[in-house]
Amino acid sequence: MRMLSGLLILLAPLAAEPKAARAPWLLFPIDVRRFDHVSSKFGLRRLEGHRKLHRGVDLVAPAGSYVVAAREGTIAESGHARSCGWYVTVAHENSWRTVYCHLRSDPRKLGVVQGLAVPAMGVVGLVGSTGHSTGPHLHFSVLDDQGRPRDPLLALYTPKETLEVLRKMGMAR
């Protein structure tokens, strides 16, 4: 018994800081046929000489490509913010949220309004470059149940995996 409790004490600090592992549960949030590349990953990046936390991932696709809900949920926010531009936030069942920024136009004009239930792959907007943006792309953020930003690439299925999931769901051929 003594030995066992000693081991538990030794293991506790390791358990307290789990290494971030990839565990996909979100479908790729733009039309996979139009997606080009990741232009900026999550984390600290240099911006005009200082380091700034990039709270999401930048996914490049032509302007007008469909932006889709990464998983079913409810529209929690739909509107405009200075840096995000036109954007939508989707609240999911596990209390995590996904955020879709720089949309081409007011998502409310597409009927994407607060309180609306959206299915996985439901269109929430179109790729644009509104807000602080240098070209058409989707800035996609994942917020945990405490509102903390998490690395979206750990949560997202790749475009290829997304297609496989959609085929299994009968949503792609």
Q: Which stretch binds Zn ion (CB under 5 A): 12-20, 56-64, 67-75, 125-133?
A: 56-64
Residues 103 to 142: which contact Zn ion by CB under 5 A?
139
Give me the residue whose beta carbon is nearest to Zn ion.
139
Quote the CA–CA distance of 13 and 17 in Å, as a whole number.
7
Q: Considering Cα of 54, then 136, then 100, then 38, what sign does the dihedral take?
A: negative
* Between 86 and 116, CB nearer to Zn ion: 86
Q: Contact between 58 and Zn ion (CB under 5 A)?
A: yes
Q: What residue has token string 């405009």?
A: 80
Q: Contact between 102 and Zn ion (CB under 5 A)?
A: no
| Distance in Å, CB of 4 to Zn ion, minimum | 47
b/e map 37-49, b = 16+ CB within 10 Å: eeeeebeeeeeee
For Zn ion, the binding residues (CB under 5 A) are 58, 139
